[in-house]
Amino acid sequence: MSAGFRFSRAWSIARKEVRHVRRDPFTLATALGLPILLVVFFGYAIDFNVKDIHMIAADRDNTRASREWLKNFTSSRFFKLEPADPGQDPQSALDTEQAKGVIIIEPGFGNDLGAGRPAEVQILLDGADNSTTGIISGYLIGIQQAAWKKISSGPRVQPLSLQTRFLFNQEQNSRWFVVSGLVVVVIGVLSILLTALTVAREWETGSMELLLSTPVRPLEIIFGKLAPYLGLVLVSVVMVYLVARIQFGLPFMGNHLLFLAGILLFLCLCLAQGLLISVITRQQQLAMQLSFISGLLPTLLLSGFIFPIESMPPFFQYLTYILAPRWFMVISRGLFLKGVGLLELAQPLFMLLLLNLIMMGLALKRFKKDLEP
């Protein structure tokens, strides 16, 4: 009588779970509020496009040539130039965080330039903030070239010139880059957290003991408990998708069905991970901490969401192979920004499938139908 999977029993557990969710403001608020919070936070706060960088200019030459050269900075929207306080060492602006860089032009700059000798400008950058300074030094090359053309007598033909064209995300809008990865973060964090909590709660309150004494099968408990959260997280994903498209004007170049397939694969994997956490911890508090650590950290740090995998040390590059967010990140960005097809996504999809089988196998193996410690 009790052998075999009964859909009606799984369904009754799912219905009970929906009742819990509807009556529990915390779960609802997390499921619907957290994605919005993440989108607003990452969509607006993280911006790699540098502009209005404060620079201090100490023009000790003060000739037409030096003023002309400095104008190159002020005419670009990237920099905000302020003259140095005459009685002060310009370098102190770096120490007090008033500026990210200091430009010092020593007397004689104009003379040297006029006489055809090499003219020197000193630029000091705040190396403590190496991400901003990296970008500044990138811009400096361009400014240097522009200045060269203006100041030197007449344009010279450069023997070699690089014309760079960006194929995807032509405007190099870093928000597109961030937001197209947000679906990964939302699913990664939300689904692991919610499932870990719901199953751990059942253990912690003792209701699992009662459930296990009934003819209900472990697989029915798992299906019944996870199905509502699958639906809930899908709703959050749709919300994030709409915000990305409407609010941030993100394109979607790929196939939506392919995207759905990727989402479902990644989502099932995360649900299995949450399940595994909860059957191991059997406590809500611990399950929550483990979910955040195992869900949030790899997604934020090791998935290529912000930090490129290619520039990680080899060990971490290989480590990302077993991390699902890395593969889903490729799928999400590829479909949003590049419009890749099934052929290009075969590897990430296959890896997600493989990791799914491993994670589900582990979770099912550890799911006990007894109370043995």
Binding-site residue total for another protein (CB under 8 A)? 29
- Give the residue among 17, 83, 2 at the shortest CA–CA distance from 222: 17
In the structure encoding, which two tokens stand for residue 327, read together?
């593969």
- Residue 95 or 370: the one with the smaller Cβ distance to another protein is 370
Assess 123 for contact with another protein (CB under 8 A): no
Q: Which of 29, 37, 128, 210 binds another protein (CB under 8 A)?
A: 210
Q: Which of 154, 206, 313, 314 binds another protein (CB under 8 A)?
A: 206
Assess 213 for contact with another protein (CB under 8 A): yes
- Residue 8 or 153: the one with the smaller Cβ distance to another protein is 8
> Per-residue contact track with another protein, 15 to 44, x per CB under 8 A?
-x--xx--xx--------------------
Assess 9 for contact with another protein (CB under 8 A): yes
Q: Which of 114, 138, 215, 249 binds another protein (CB under 8 A)?
A: 215
Question: Which part of the chain contacts another protein (CB under 8 A), choosing from 84-92, 99-107, 204-212, 335-343?
Answer: 204-212
Q: Which of 52, 171, 310, 372 binds another protein (CB under 8 A)?
A: 372
- Residue 227 or 263: the one with the smaller Cβ distance to another protein is 227
Assess 4 for contact with another protein (CB under 8 A): no
Binding to another protein (CB under 8 A) within 43-72 occurs at none
Q: Which of 4, 8, 160, 311 binds another protein (CB under 8 A)?
A: 8
CB atoms within 10 A of CB 88: 11
Question: Which part of the chain contacts another protein (CB under 8 A), choosing from 11-19, 102-110, 157-165, 253-261?
Answer: 11-19
- Least CB distance to another protein at residue 215 (A): 4
- Least CB distance to another protein at residue 243 (A): 31
> Per-residue contact track with another protein, 151 to 190, x per CB under 8 A?
----------------------------------------
**φ/ψ (deg, to 5) at 123:** -125, 120
Report whether 206 contacts 288 (CB < 8 A): no
Q: Which of 2, 153, 164, 311 binds another protein (CB under 8 A)?
A: 2
Long-range contacts of 342-346 (CB under 8 A, 24+ apart): 342/255, 342/258, 345/258, 345/262
Assess 145 for contact with another protein (CB under 8 A): no
Question: Which part of the chain contacts another protein (CB under 8 A), choosing from 51-59, 62-70, 201-209, 326-334?
Answer: 201-209
- Residue 6 or 60: the one with the smaller Cβ distance to another protein is 6
Question: What is the 3-class SS of the chain, one letter each residue?
Answer: CCCCCCHHHHHHHHHHHHHHHHHCHHHHHHHHHHHHHHHHHHHHHCCCCCCCEEEEEEECCCCHHHHHHHHHHHHCCCEEEEECCCCCCCCHHHHCCCCCEEEEECCCHHHHHHHCCCCCCEEEECCCCHHHHHHHHHHHHHHHHHHHHHHCCCCCCCCCCCCCCCCCCCCCCHHHHHHCCHHHHHHHHHHHHHHHHHHHHHHHCCHHHHHHCCCCCHHHHHHHHHHHHHHHHHHHHHHHHHHHHHCCCCCCCCCHHHHHHHHHHHHHHHHHHHHHHHHHHCCHHHHHHHHHHHHHHHHHHCCCCCCCHHHCCHHHHHHHHHCHHHHHHHHHHHHHHHCCCCCCCHHHHHHHHHHHHHHHHHHHHHCCCCCCC
Question: Which part of the chain contacts another protein (CB under 8 A), choosing from 14-22, 40-48, 70-78, 128-136?
Answer: 14-22
Question: Which residues of the chain form contacts with another protein (CB under 8 A)?
Answer: 1-3, 6, 8-9, 11-12, 16, 19-20, 23-24, 205-216, 370-373
